[in-house]
Amino acid sequence: MLKVCIKKKIDNFLLDMDFEVNGNILGMIGASGSGKSLTLKCIAGIEKPDEGYIELNGKTFFDSNKNINVRPQNRKVAYLFQNYALFPQMTVKKNILVSVNKKYEGIEREKKVREVMSLLHIEELEKKYPFELSGGEQQRVALARIIVNEPDFLLLDEPFSAIDAFLKWNLAKELKNVLKHIGKEVIFVTHNINEVYYLCNDVLVLSCGKVAERSSIKELINNPKTEIAKNIVKYSDFSREELDEF
Amino acid sequence: MSFYPLYNSLRIAMIATVIIFFLGIMAAYYVARLPRLIKGLLDVLLTLPLVLPPTVVGYLLLLILGPKRPLGILIYELFGTKLVMTWWASILASVVVAFPLMYRTARGSFESFDETLAYAGKTLGFSNSYIFWEIRMPYCAKSIIAGVVLSFARALGEYGATSMVSGYTPDRTATISTTVYQLWRINDEYGAGIWVLINIFISAVFLLILNSIEKKR
């Protein structure tokens, strides 16, 4: 279980988040600048909140009262970046190999790489460099890196924003399977309510750095309570019939 | 003909380049992260040797290291040696004069580095030194290599500050550039010409090697 209760001020923007993730994939939706990415960065340890606490499965990552701020390296929280952040000077295989959890050594590391490449069907890409890959391929490699790292929690920051619309749903299907395979709790950030509907059970609607609404995805679509949630539902290209096919 | 100036120039340029490499990268890395105002001030200070005449740099170095200055006296008392008029004083002069070339090229490339790569490395559990040497440095390698080439070339060709802090003593402090000047001064145009050709040859070979490394990358 992830507990987040933090505040962070940057210029005129105040991030004031208070929520929990308990055993599922939590969607996080909101307009640009609503604080989605900043929240993820605070959870990962890349940004330091001004006050509050962050706790995962009873382990404190951040507590301003106790002066605790665990390094991102020791949090075991995976972060899938919008641009995937593959290391450009390393081949696909090297990108995955260097990310294998440190508890594995020698031949075992190699074995883990083979397994994950087979799982994500990227064996033929092993000698390629990131700049030679399509958006979908890059996403698979970034996911492979995360799987071999064996994190305790996953943060997915708009993973489909750089993917062509016609490829997106195939990748979403794959992602759903991969997340099932990993079996960890996830925060999935997006602009797109269709993606949330497909991947998540619960959803947080963010507005101006705060949680405007939290509900199940079905409840949000059928009965949005806040103005921002109403707008998100109203202006989405949402088609329940189409999504129910999945 | 003594080949001491060749040997001395090469060792000074090489040692200076190694020092500049680490100093320049370290300064670039930390300065790139500072608040704007402090960054601006430090930037001026660290780049000054590039625009000042080398004789001014030499003068300032003599002010600090001279045998009658506190630092010079301290070193003489501790080690029984003077800081100036030695071959290794030229290393110091070359480091100060060529440092801004490495610092500026490295800083430019560090500022264009995509920080999400470092964040990704952190969340994957990599140590900060691994992220620096295996992710940040390879990403910035082209600029860093350019900085190394420029610094080496500048250190090899250093004359003004070197002649002030090390002078010209044959077989003790003579470098190619100070030898060229001294030979020309005593009307030995043939001797000066040979050293000019040697200098051109070394610089051209060095640039060719580095160009080929660049192409291979």
A158 and A198 share one domain: yes
Whether residue A1 lies inside any domain: the answer is: no
The residues pairing with B146 across neighbouring beta strands, listed in sequence order, are: none
| Alpha-carbon gap, residue B3 to B24, rounded angstroms | 31
| pLDDT given for residue A246 in this prediction | 44
Distances (CA, A) of B188 to A35, B9, B200: 74, 20, 19
Residue A2 lies in a domain: no
Q: Is residue A98 part of a domain?
A: yes
Residue in chain B closest to A102 (alpha carbons) equals B125
Same domain flag for A245 and A161: yes
* Chain A residues touching residue B134 (CB < 8 angstroms): 87, 98
Is A79's CB within 8 Å of B119's CB? Answer: yes
Identify the three-state secondary structure at position A210: strand
Final residue before a domain boundary, out of A115, A150, A185: A150
What is the span of the domain harbouring residue A118? 83-150
Range B4-216 has CATH code 3.65.10.10: no
Domain-embedded: residue A162: yes
Q: Are residues A143 and A197 in the same domain?
A: no
Region of poorest pLDDT, from A96-105, A235-244, B62-71: A235-244
Residue-averaged pLDDT of chain A: 89
Strand arrangement of the beta sheet that strand A25-30 belongs to: A68-69, A59-63, A51-56, A2-10, A13-21, A210-216, A202-207, A25-30, A185-190, A153-157, A77-80
Quick one: A43 and A160 in the same domain? yes
- Amino acid in the structure at residue A178: V
Among residues A103, A120, A150, the one where a domain terminates is A150
Residue of A81, A109, A129 to mutate for B, most B C-beta atoms under 10 A: A81
Domain count, chain A: 2
What is the tens place of the pLDDT at every residue in B49-60? 999 999 999 999
* Residue B113 identity (one-letter amino acid): F
Give pLDDT tens digits along chain B (217 positions).
Answer: 789 999 999 999 999 999 999 999 999 999 988 888 999 999 999 999 999 999 999 999 999 888 888 888 888 888 888 888 999 899 999 999 999 999 999 999 998 999 999 999 999 999 999 999 999 999 998 889 889 988 998 999 899 999 999 999 898 999 999 999 999 999 999 999 999 999 999 888 878 877 776 676 5
Last residue of a domain, one of A126, A150, A174: A150
Q: Which residues of B touch A76 (CB under 8 A)?
A: 125
Report how far residue A176's alpha carbon sits from residue A188's, in angstroms, rounded to the nearest whole number.
11
Residues of chain A contacting residue B124, judged by C-beta atoms under 8 Å apart: 78, 98-99, 145, 149
Helices (H) and strands (E) in chain B, counts: 12, 0
What are the domain boundaries of chain B?
4-216
- Is residue A160 domain-shared with residue A91, that is, in the same domain? no
Flag whether A30 is in a domain: yes
A139 vs chain B: nearest CA distance in angstroms? 14
Subunit contact B122:A73, Cβ cutoff 8 A: yes
Q: What's the distance, CA B64 to chain centroid?
A: 19
Residues of B in contact with A81 (CB under 8 A): 116, 119-120
**Would you say residue A128 lies in a domain?**
yes
As for the ipTM of the complex, it is: 0.90
* Residue A64, in any domain of the structure: no
